[in-house]
Amino acid sequence: MRESSVARSPRSRPRKARTEPLPPMRLGAGLQVLAALLWLPQAALIALVIGDLAGQGRAPEDFGLNAATSALAVAILGIVRALLDGYAGRLCFRRARQILSERRAKAAKALAARSPLDSGRPASGVAASILGEQGEAIVPYLSRYRPARLKAVIVPLAIVLAVFPVSWAAAIVLLIAAPLIPVFMALIGWRAQAASEAQLAGLGSMNGFLLDRLRGLATIRAMGAVDRTAKRLRQEAETLRTRTMAVLRIAFLSSAVLELFAALGVAMVAVYIGFHLLGQLPFGAWGGRLSLGEGLFVLLLAPAFFEPLRDLSSIWHDRAAGEAALKALDDLSAMDVAVLNADADDQRKGARAPAPAVRLENLAFAHAGAEQAAIEEFSLSIEAGEKIAFFGPSGSGKSTLLALIAGLAPADRGCVRISEQSLDETNAGSLRRQIAWIGQTPHIFAGDLISNVTLHRPWIGADNAQRALAAAGLSHILEGRDGHLGEGGSGLSGGEALRVALARLTADPRISLILADEPTAHLDSQTAKDIADHLLAFAKGRTLIVATHDPLLAHRMDRIVYLPKSAMRAVA
Ligand SMILES: Nc1ncnc2c1ncn2[C@@H]1O[C@H](COP(=O)(O)OP(=O)(O)OP(=O)(O)O)[C@@H](O)[C@H]1O
């Protein structure tokens, strides 16, 4: 299964992953709450000192403090608060990045393990967009929104409890103003989430569209469809712009509405305290009158009461984007049809195993969602070292059979035996090390020709790759163009791309079973013959199974197994 390996750029160096365990996010959120609560003693001390200076209320001396020690305590509390807040913010951010990395790794692993037969696999552009920029939305959601939510629950409650013994009227004003904020946040939040999901879907679809069209640029030019494609791209970009503006509009609207309610709440408390101190509103202080210090204490706490709610509202749209991104990553991690034993480590050098015998016993397989089985009760015995052709019309199940032999999907019934070992979830990975796959359109990565052959398999050196390229008749490309290839093999003919795929096989000493899916389709007769010659030369001493429509290629094999279009029955 060499072709599916991704060629890394020779210059790219893997970054060292942070693996040390971090304290849980809850600790960071808890420390942020604690930092916010430190404002309570700070406000009390400030109110006490100012009240004392004005000669009203209790003096700091009543609590064993003087003005200087009170000021010092306020400063120390402020420093501790800033340090705690900074440390907790950093902790939450690092933990959020770690969670994002874990989710990304899980989604990437699930994507890599998804069977090529799974037609539900997301388009590469969509998957890249979710793993890349969309995934980033998780970081502000986890590191800012969640701690802010905890703060918005605990801090206002603590402040009301502190204000209540001083003035029940001020506490009631706060309690009346506070619920308006969550109610509006919920109303706006539902709309924001829908808008954010629509925007993420739009972004993914535009990425998919762009990637697809870039891949088919040559065809688009050849068909004279450049203008139409550009128009369609403009439309997609315009739709995305509208959706992005909708998300931003909601975000700004929510902030403005919530600022308004917070400002009204603070103003109401300030008006009450002011008039109370002037003797106009003499109620609300448990039968007495508030001193200047007590009034100041309540006034200092009023903005702090609304602050966590305002913080929460300003990052409210992070919730929508973050939850949509979490869902998108989770969907990416879901797997319908998986490659058998996909986790197995493939990075080991190994000697070539003897050519294996392959036995298919009562194999049955239906593609997900298909009404008819692609393969039904199919049995076949292939001798070690035999060269065999699956020959039949399009849709008769040739490629599906090859995929089942390679363990790219589990059979519904029956079994595949390679060298008498039944292919299953425990051994498919190690058996696949001796299997090579060659298809009709091998993927060529942008980069140099040598890395396109080695595919960064550590056991294949540059010398091996050079020899394999020479054997495949590609030395002239290696020398002529500096060995550099464009994305998707641009600059190579179809026959040359197949030769690169052949070089990938021949450079790997471990291969003893070759599965070739239509290797000569779309080639002219001379190139098809050359490719068949190379394939057969390499297949000496190995087992070769070819799926083909090409009668010339089929007749060069030791045996032809004809697969009729209708569901297959036992053969051979
Ligand atoms: N990923 C898939 N999801 C659903 N159905 C599929 C999928 N791949 C193939 N099929 C269906 O399974 C049947 C067998 O397909 P398969 O590709 O194995 O045939 P084939 O003989 O290799 O055809 P061709 O020669 O055209 O490549 C066809 O009816 C096809 O439509």
Q: What is the pLDDT of residues 500-527, one digit of tens each?
A: 999 998 898 889 999 999 988 888 888 8
Instruction: Determine the distance separating the centroid of ligand 1 and the alpha carbon of 130, expressed in angstroms.
Output: 29
Q: Please tell me the predicted confidence (pLDDT) of residue 38.
A: 95
CA distance 560 to 551: 10
User: With contact defined as beta carbons under 8 Å apart, do 368 and 119 qualify?
Assistant: yes
Could you give the CA distance from residue 385 to residue 539 in angstroms, rounded to a whole number? 8
Q: Is residue 200's pLDDT more than 90?
A: no
The whole-angstrom separation of Cα 174 and Cα 307 is 12
pLDDT band at 483 (very low <50, low <70, confident <90, very high): low
Residue 224 has pLDDT above 90, yes or no: no
Q: How far is the CA of 369 from the centre of ligand 1 (A)?
A: 13
Please give the average per-residue pLDDT across 20-24, as a whole number: 64
CB atoms within 10 A of CB 67: 14
Tens-digit pLDDT profile for residues 341-380: 887 756 666 777 889 999 999 999 998 888 888 898 899 9
pLDDT band of 495, cuts 50, 70, 90: confident
User: Which residue lies with its CA nearest to atom 31 of ligand 1?
Assistant: 395
Burial (CB count within 10 angstroms: exposed 0-12, middle 13-18, buried 19+), residue 276? buried
CA of 396 to the centre of ligand 1 (A): 7
Q: Are 375 and 532 in contact (CB under 8 A)?
A: no
What's the pTM value of the predicted model, to 2 decimals?
A: 0.69
CA–centroid distance, residue 60 to ligand 1 (Å): 85
Is there an atom of ligand 1 within 6 Å of 117 CB? yes
pLDDT bracket for residue 4 (50, 70, 90): very low
d(CA 135, CA 245): 20
Q: How far is ligand 1, taken at its centre, from the CA of residue 50, in Å?
A: 83
The two beta strands, 387-391 and 559-562, are: parallel
What pLDDT, on the 0 to 100 scale, is given for residue 11? 41
Higher-pLDDT residue of 555 and 123 is 555
Q: Which two tokens stand for residue 155?
A: 């801090």
**Residue whose CB lies within 8 A of the most ligand 1 atoms, among 372, 398, 401, 518, for a mutation test:** 398
Please answer whether residues 315 and 144 qualify as being in contact, where contact means their C-beta atoms are separated by less than 8 angstroms. yes
Range picked from 4-13, 239-248, 417-426 for highest mean pLDDT: 417-426
pLDDT (average), residues 237-252: 82
Element (H, E) at 491: none
Ligand 1 atom 8: the closest Cα is on which residue?
A: 117
Which domains does the chain possess?
17-333 (1.20.1560.10), 358-562 (3.40.50.300)
pLDDT in tens, 151-189: 999 999 999 999 999 999 999 988 888 877 777 777 776
